[in-house]
Structure 1
Amino acid sequence: MKEINHEGFVELIVSYEEFIELIRPDNKEKLSSYIGAANHKLIYRGQSDSNHLLIPSLFRDVFEYSSFTNTFNDLCFCQFAHLKSFVAGCDTNAVAIPNDSYEFREKYLADYNSSAAYDSRSWPDKALYELLGFAQHYGYPTELLDWSYSPLVASYFAASGVISNRESSLDSYMSVWVFDLEKKNLLNDHRRTNFEVINIPRSLNLNISSQQGCFTLVRQDINRNQKITYADKRIQEMRLLPDLMAEKRQNGLLKLTISNKNSLEILEFCDSYSINAASLFRGPYGAAQYAIEGINKNRFASKNSLSIKGSIPL
């Protein structure tokens, strides 16, 4: 095990055996000791590329093409306009959106609230959380970042992302991030919210229920006249969770990094706890993903001369 101290978080580069020992659901005490999580209240996020930062999808290069996203307020306006198109798409397909009512649409979806131009922390409105979470779980880019209360769910998403990417290399690494929920309040100022953990009702979103999911939101603190710039597939001015941890000098964010060589073993371990595509994605879509995942496993194993549960790939 190799420990590296970064600005805002600690990274552990681990072997497969060390990784399993740390993410086992019955062994939170050992994992918690690395970030001072006294009460073992943790959330987890899996990423198939260890080089990727904790960047919400909206803050990547979604609107890089647009000449109307020069400031944070511009970005929020574009987000609002396209969120309305998501709602229109739901209407076309007779899909119910969270909190839907005439009053909700008139108050929060009829017109853009330009308060973000004066106070960047005001966006997004809390009334939109459920809609944003619903949209995110169906692929729409938002300011929210997906996490899970289950270390196995996060591990599954990291490993499945590796085997589904035909460009994945055994020389690269995936990661599972761990955050201590007890540190949440220490990231906020008196009467000023910098960071939120969002648990939305799950009745309209079976996926988030199956995945034991939640979201985090880092509220931005940007001057109304400051320009935003796109570089390296992200908006450079957006404050991320490690930035906030470093700013507040808090210890409570950990990154477990493990070789792609172990992705099939990790998926097998998760499957032994019934964590797989069929259990995490409901309905026919989950069944299809489960079958596709089998194809991806065999392709990955064949490409890299690996075995699957002691067998050669089909």
Structure 2
Amino acid sequence: MTEPFCFNYASELFEKLTSRGGTGEAVYRGHGDSMYQLVPSFQREGYVNKFLSLDDASVLTASSSPFRAFYQTANQMGLSLPSVSNEKHQNYTSESPIDALMDVRDEFDGEYDADDLEIMAFAQHYGIPTPLLDWSRSPLVAMYFAASGALDAFTGKAREYLSIDQVLDDQVPDSVRQKLSQYGEKKYLSVWQANSFGLNELSRKRLLFETDIDDKYSVCFFTPKNQGNQNIIAQQGLFSIHRPIKMTGEFRYGETPAKSLSEVLDEHLKWLDAREGQSQFLRESQQCGMLNEFKLPVSQAVELLNLLGSCGIHAASVYPGHQGCAKRVRERADISLIDRLFNPQASEQD
């Protein structure tokens, strides 16, 4: 993977990503913090452990599979769920420990079928940890998620130092304003761009030529059926899954290392480079940019949100419904807070 592309101003990032053209293969993902790696929530120890209720909380077993439990609960409450085969429905709703254990075996072996992927994609939009990563076909949507996440963190940091009365009365100490300014310049948001076809093809080639697959990762991008999920439609969403092709024994968080998508890509490219007769594909992969990261100081998050808003991209557009409207109101309040901190005269004129 190449070094990140770093920008100083929101307009530069906006122009770069909106002028890239595209062949339909480019997909995007936004992070409010550039330190965040491309690791699915199912493989993040701190995120998953809150779902575990075991004597040994580092071992995930059948009874604690989060998206299986989500499916069971939603079904019991009569809520809508993705349309899957009767066999899969019975497997997910079964109370039989044998069925459940077979389900988890498939999860850890990476043996997912189309129904599993549909259920995971649905559950992920409600905060359930899965082996999936969300992506969008729109760079505008990805930039929104990056800027929104950065704004949340930035205003959270501001509220650690200040009371609302200090901000409203313009009584912010210069030392605090300086600390926040430094935070905004040193922390970065990031937008990732991936070549979905290239990554799928690279993974397929490795599986085709390599017989020893223990501890090797596969990568797959897929688009779920919308099935009334307005978030996926509005966000032009799709998902990637990168999992060990085969895992033996118990999966222990903290002991079993989780690889980021960028690490998996680097491994695949090294393998490809070592094979004769594959150099043409490798050169084409490197030229088209299989995986790129674009970084921007979080101090530019408000300006990026303003640019996106002028294109009709905001919380209410990417989260259709009342939730998105409420989030947009909160974001406007956060933007006003930042404006008062760093541009009080302009804020008073507004």
Conserved in 1, the CA contact under 8 Å of 2:191 and 2:293? yes
Q: Which residue of 1 aligns with 2:35?
A: 51
Conserved in 2, the CA contact under 8 Å of 1:220 and 1:238? no
Identity %: 25
RMSD (CA atoms): 2.9
Q: Which residue of 2 aligns with 1:20?
A: 14
**1:133-144 residue pairs with structure 2 within 5 A?**
133-144=121-132
1:156 deviation in Å? Answer: 0.4
Structure 1 runs of 4+ with >6 Å offset: none
Which structure features the higher share of helix residues?
Answer: 2
1:298 deviation in Å? Answer: 1.6
1:272-300 deviation per Cα after TM superposition (whole angstroms, max 9, x unaligned): 11111111111111211111111121223
Paired residues, what number? 287
Conserved in 1, the CA contact under 8 Å of 2:43 and 2:253? no
Work out whether 1:150 is the aligned partner of 2:138. Answer: yes
Amino acid at match of 2:83: N
Cα 1:115–1:122 change in 2 (3 A) is farther
Cα 1:115–1:202 change in 2 (3 A) is closer
**1:214-293 residue pairs with structure 2 within 5 A?**
214-221=238-245, 223-225=247-249, 228-230=252-254, 237-249=257-269, 251=286, 252-293=290-331
1:103 deviation in Å? Answer: 4.0
Conserved in 2, the CA contact under 8 Å of 1:48 and 1:174? yes
1:211 deviation in Å? Answer: 0.4
1:216-253 deviation per Cα after TM superposition (whole angstroms, max 9, x unaligned): 000214541376342xxxx7512321111111116411
CA distance in 1, matches of 2:103, 2:78: 32
CA distance in 2, matches of 1:248, 1:51: 23
**1:1-314 residue pairs with structure 2 within 5 A?**
8-16=1-9, 17-24=11-18, 27-29=19-21, 39=23, 41-60=25-44, 61-64=46-49, 66-68=54-56, 70=58, 74-75=59-60, 77=62, 80=65, 82-91=66-75, 93-99=77-83, 102-110=86-94, 111-114=99-102, 117=105, 120-165=108-153, 166-167=156-157, 169-170=183-184, 171-183=186-198, 184-188=200-204, 189-190=207-208, 194-221=218-245, 223-225=247-249, 228-230=252-254, 237-249=257-269, 251=286, 252-303=290-341, 305-306=342-343, 311-312=347-348
1:98 deviation in Å? Answer: 0.3
1:146-204 deviation per Cα after TM superposition (whole angstroms, max 9, x unaligned): 01000010000011111122037313110000001231211222188811112001132
1:128 deviation in Å? Answer: 1.2
Conserved in 1, the CA contact under 8 Å of 2:187 and 2:298? yes
CA distance in 2, matches of 1:306, 1:253: 36
**What SS is found at the alignment partner of 1:177?**
strand
Amino acid at match of 1:19: L
CA distance in 2, matches of 1:9, 1:112: 42
**Which of these two proteins has the greater Rg computed from alpha carbons?**
2
CA distance in 2, matches of 1:296, 1:209: 27
TM normalised by structure 1 equals 0.80
Cα 1:215–1:302 change in 2 (3 A) is same
TM normalised by structure 2 equals 0.73
In structure 2, the gaps of 5 or more residues are 159-182, 270-284
CA distance in 2, matches of 1:273, 1:130: 31
